[in-house]
Chains A and B, each alone.
Chain A
Amino acid sequence: MTDDFDPRLRDRLDRLAAAVPTAATDPNLGLLTQRRAVRGRVQFGSLATVMLLLIVVAGSGLLGDGRGGGGGREAVGSATDGVFTLMIRSPRDHYQPRETIDVAATLEYVRDGSIVVSTAADVVGFGVEQIGGLHRVDPVSAQSCRQSSFEHGQPEAYPFSKSGGFSPEMPDAEFIRAYLNISGNKPDPALRLPAGTWSIFAITDLAEGDCGGTVRHQLKAAITVTVDESSVASESPPASLDTAVPSSAPSRESDRTFPGVCPAIVPSLNQCAAFAAWAVGQSGVNLGQVQRIEMTQDQCPGAPACSTGVAGYVVGVRIVTDGGTSSDQLVDCTRIPGSLGGINFLCDEIVTIPGGPVGYPSMRSPISGGYHDVPCLTPAPQGPCATALPTIEPSALSASRPLTISSVEIPIDHVGAYSINLGEATLPNGILTAASAEVTSAPTDPLVSYDGYDLVIMSLDGGPPFENYYAHGWRPGVEHVRVTLNFTVLLFQPGAVINVAAVDVH
Chain B
Amino acid sequence: MRGAIKRVITDVGSLDEAVRVHRPWLVRRLALVVRDIDEAEDLAQITFLRAAERWPFPAGQDVARWFAVVGLRLAIDERRRRKRWGFLALRDSDQEWAMATDPDLWGALGGLDRRTRAALVMTTLDGYTQDEVADVFGVPRGTVASWLSRGRVRLRAELESHR
Interface residues, chain A, with chain B CB atoms under 8 Å away: 1-2, 5-6, 9-10, 12-23, 25, 27-28, 30-31, 33, 35-36, 39-46, 120, 122, 125, 127, 138-141, 143, 145, 163-164, 203-205, 340-341, 343-344, 348-349, 351-354, 357-358, 360, 362, 370
Asked if A40 and B97 sit within 8 Å, CB to CB, the answer is: no
Least distance between B156 CB and chain A CB atoms (Å): 6
B19 touches A163 (CB 8 A): no
Set of chain A residues within 8 Å of B86, measured between Cβ atoms: 125, 127, 138-141, 163-164
CA distance A27 to B36 in the complex (A): 23
Give Cα A251–Cα B157 distance, bound, in whole angstroms.
68
* CB <8 Å contact, B82 and A20: no
**Which residues of chain A are near B64, meaning CB under 8 Å?**
none
A10-B124, A125-B87, A351-B77 known; A41 and B39 CB under 8 Å?
A: yes
Contacts A20-B37, A21-B37, A25-B23 given; does A30 touch B90 at CB 8 Å: no
CB closest chain-A residue, reference B98: A16
From A2, A13, A33, A40, B125 is in contact (CB under 8 Å) with A13
Question: Which of A22, A45, A203, A348 is the one whose CB lies under 8 Å from B23?
Answer: A22
Q: In the bound complex, do residue B24 and residue A16 qualify as a contact, i.e. CB atoms below 8 Å apart?
A: no
By beta carbon, the residue of chain A nearest B156 is A5
Count CB-based A-B contacts (< 8 Å): 177
Q: Determine if A351 and B81 form an interchain contact, defined as CB atoms under 8 angstroms apart.
A: yes
Inter-chain CA distance A164–B85, complex, in Å, is 10
Chain B nearest CB from A434 CB (Å) reads 13
In the complex the two chains form, is B98's CB within 8 Å of A1's CB? Answer: no
Contacts A22-B24, A31-B52, A163-B86 given; does A10 touch B2 at CB 8 Å: yes
**Could you tell me the distance between the alpha carbons of A41 and B41 in the complex, rounded to whole angstroms?**
13
Q: Quick one: CB contact mask for B43-75 with A, threshold 8 Å, 1 for yes?
A: 001101110111010000000001001100110
Measured as residues with beta carbon below 8 angstroms from the partner, the interface class of chain B is: 35 or more
| Contact B50 A122, beta carbon cutoff 8 Å | no
B113 CB to nearest chain A CB (Å)? 15
Q: Which single member of B40, B56, B78 contacts A20 (CB below 8 Å)? A: B40
Given known contacts A18-B28, A125-B86, what 19 new A-B pairs fall within 8 Å (CB)?
A: A5-B152, A13-B124, A16-B101, A20-B27, A20-B37, A22-B27, A25-B19, A25-B23, A25-B24, A31-B15, A31-B52, A35-B42, A41-B39, A44-B93, A45-B93, A120-B88, A164-B86, A203-B87, A343-B45
